[in-house]
Amino acid sequence: MTDVLREPSSQLTSAGTMVQTSMSRSQVALLGLGLLLMLLLYVGLPGPPEQTSWLWGDPNVTILAGLTPGNSPIFYREVLPLHRARRVEVVLLHGKAFNSHTWEQLGTLQLLAQRGYRAVALDLPGFGNSAPSKEASTEAGRAELLEQVLRDLEVQNAVLVSPSLSGHYALPFLMRGHHQLHGFVPIAPTSTQNYTREQFWAVKTPTLILYGELDRILARESLRQLRHLPNHSVVKLRDAGHACYLHKPQDFHLVLLAFLDHLP
């Protein structure tokens, strides 16, 4: 009787041991598989590009904002260089569907500050936080308004970035006051057809012509005229439309910084 009772107990103990051993091996196998997968992911996946840390700008950059003085105040957003200031200062205009906030959302303002540039993004009259202005109704008035803004903000050695609609302001200013500009970055701007080859040829300002590969209307039209600028380079952003800086922001930032960094 005693032997009969002990046998099931021994079997149960043995069975229990087998279950525990089986569970332990399973856990070890799963743990090993997990570690192997983590190792494969670590080794096999490409890491972030080196530029990632600065490509989108520094989130800790302070964005200043204000209104210029005078009868036609213009709203602006401004960043100051985080490090040793570079010589040029960047003035960012905008297209019809955008305003100065676009350059903050895109990280352009923050990036420029981190790279040592003072940068100012404007709300053109009637856009964002800038009220409509009667000066904006004429070509001369738009050029004078932009000149006054640069004077009010004490911008020196300006590089003017002008996408799309803002060509209404940038091009009249360029024709009249290009000697005040240290660089010009047109991005498929409007109004290029209003000026002659000779007028473009007279402008000696270093120019970076940017456009999106998929912009087959305004980009081509503006490029045809802008090519008459004697001191220019052209960059086409592939797989990008009219607002190429939004479609390919990393490429846009890289090209813009390369242009700025190599200005004399």
Considering all CA atoms of the chain, what is the largest pairwise distance in Å, rounded to the nearest integer? 119
Cα–Cα distance for residue pair 35/43, rounded to 1 Å: 12
User: Are 66 and 75 a contacting pair, CB within 8 Å?
Assistant: yes
Number of Cβ within a 10 Å radius of residue 149: 22
Which residues are marked as active site? Answer: 164, 215, 242
Contact in structure between 225 and 192 (CB atoms under 8 Å): yes
**What pairs with residue 159 in β-bridges?**
90, 183
H helices of the chain, in order, are 2-44, 52-55, 101-105, 108-114, 139-152, 167-177, 197-201, 218-226, 244-247, 249-261
DSSP per-residue codes, 73-113: --EEEEE--SSSPPS-EEEE---TT--THHHHHTTHHHHHH
**104: Cβ–Cβ under 8 A, 6 or more apart, which residues?**
63, 77, 110, 121
